[in-house]
Amino acid sequence: MPPNMISLYIVAAMVGIMVFFTIAVAPTVFKVLPAEWSSKYVRSFFPKYYAFLCFACIVASLLASDALISGITFACAILFAIAQFVLTPAINKASDSKNKKRFGLLHGLSVVLNVIQLGLFIYILWPVAA
The predicted-structure confidence for 35-44, as pLDDT tens digits, reads as follows 889 989 999 9
Look over the chain and give the mean of its residue pLDDT values, rounded to a whole number: 94
| Structural domain range at position 97 | 3-129
In this predicted structure, what is the pLDDT of residue 130?
A: 65
Question: Do 99 and 87 contact (CB within 8 A), yes or no?
Answer: no
Residue 47 and residue 27: Cα distance in Å, rounded?
18
Total domain count, the chain: 1
Which DSSP letter does residue 97 get? T
Q: Which of 22-26, 98-102, 114-118 has the lowest mean pLDDT?
A: 22-26
**50-96 residue pLDDT tens:** 999 999 999 999 999 999 999 999 999 999 999 999 999 999 999 99
pTM of the model: 0.92
Which DSSP letter does residue 86 get? I
22 exposure class (CB count in 10 Å sphere: 0-12, 13-18, 19+): middle
